[in-house]
Amino acid sequence: MSADRRPRVLSGAQPTADSYHLGNYFGAFKQWVGLQDEFEAFYFIPDLHAITVEYEPARLRERTYIAAAQLLAAGVDPERSALFVQSHVPEHAQLAWVLGGITGFGEASRMTQFKDKSARTGSDSSSVGLFTYPVLMAADILIYQADRVPVGEDQRQHVELTRNLAQRFNHRFGDTFTVPQAHIVKATAKIYDLQDPTSKMSGSNQSHAGVVDLTDTPKQVAKKLRSAVTDSGAEIRFDPSTKPGVSNLLSIYSALTDEPIESVVRDFEGKQYGHLKVALGDLLADFVGQFGDRTRELLADRAELDRILAGGADRAREVAGATLDLVYERSGFVRGR
């Protein structure tokens, strides 16, 4: 809306596992960190979204702290970005209610992630919260007038819904929201499961043997790497369609070293798969070792984490409160005190 500010970027990653994994790091957090200078950044932990499926309160609390520590360890800088917990900023839920009033039931029913998730548990055991999850996500984005939203391909439809809701509200009630753009992560930053390199690395994958958690020990990582599936043939080549296993290892290597894939391939010319696995295993073991050290240090001081998250929420609420005031005004609510 206003031209005199830096464009805003916003994203969140659910605290639904005991740790984020390598796919989250390279597919999301590394981008988030890189956007902190060019953009005014808002990064948050969507705990309100995490309660739309069955969960344990004590674990959610612990996972939220772990998530915060890992985002900081990944390089989210609380001096430059607002890093906060979603439930600390009540305006998200308040705006979600308003947006619910202009969201069509059929429109929400078409969200493929809801259809997939509810098909897995059966629609009787799916919650209304899971159904309205995309509306809350729209509120997360619109409450900050975000310009850019870095997300994976699986969230593209939710950002599309967000754009539609922003345009609809603007059209009916007057210009209020910035219409955001999705910032889909580059294919080369995508990390696949080490055991099933045709499906993306995901905390919800059945087996954890192919998922490198950021809390793994160097030993665990070395083991996961040794048992990573490779492909038939012997040549080290980047070709995700015929060599998904080796291509995934090359992508991870390239992501870790910031070396272009072609140059990694050249380094391993004439070598065997085993060489690539060992070399990558060593690099990754170092990486998780250092990452784990930093995370544990941050987690050891909860008061400091609370302070950082409170600071992030304060900054977030300044922006979110102003948007909500405008939305309430445009919606025709009588001004309260």
In order, the DSSP letters of 145-208 are T-SEEEE-GGGHHHHHHHHHHHHHHHHHH-S-----EEEEPPGGG--B-SS-TTSB--TTSS-S
Q: Which is nearer to ligand TRP, 10 or 313 (CB)?
A: 10
Q: Which is nearer to ligand TRP, 141 or 288 (CB)?
A: 141
- The minimum distance between CB 8 and ligand TRP, in angstroms, equals 12
The reply to whether 52 sits near ligand TRP by the rule CB under 6 A is no
> Where does this chain touch ligand TRP (CB under 6 A) — which range of 64-72, 137-145, 287-295, 321-329?
137-145
The reply to whether 50 sits near ligand TRP by the rule CB under 6 A is no
- SS3 of 211, please? coil
Burial status of residue 130 (CB atoms within 10 A of its CB: 0-12, 13-18, 19 or more): buried
The reply to whether 140 sits near ligand TRP by the rule CB under 6 A is yes
- The minimum distance between CB 112 and ligand TRP, in angstroms, equals 13
Q: What number of H helices and E strands is found in the chain? A: 14, 5
The reply to whether 47 sits near ligand TRP by the rule CB under 6 A is no
The reply to whether 137 sits near ligand TRP by the rule CB under 6 A is yes
Among residues 67, 98, 130, 149, the one that binds ligand TRP under rule CB under 6 A = 149
Among residues 73, 85, 151, 211, the one that binds ligand TRP under rule CB under 6 A = 151
What is the rounded distance in angstroms from the CA atom of residue 18 to the CA atom of residue 203? 9
- The minimum distance between CB 137 and ligand TRP, in angstroms, equals 4
What's the longest Cα–Cα distance across the chain? 73
What is the rounded distance in angstroms from the CA atom of residue 39 to the CA atom of residue 183? 13
> Where does this chain touch ligand TRP (CB under 6 A) — which range of 133-141, 254-262, 280-288, 302-310?
133-141
The answer to whether 310 and 89 have CB atoms below 8 angstroms apart is no
Residues in contact with ligand TRP by CB under 6 A are 10-14, 46, 49, 137, 140-141, 149, 151, 155
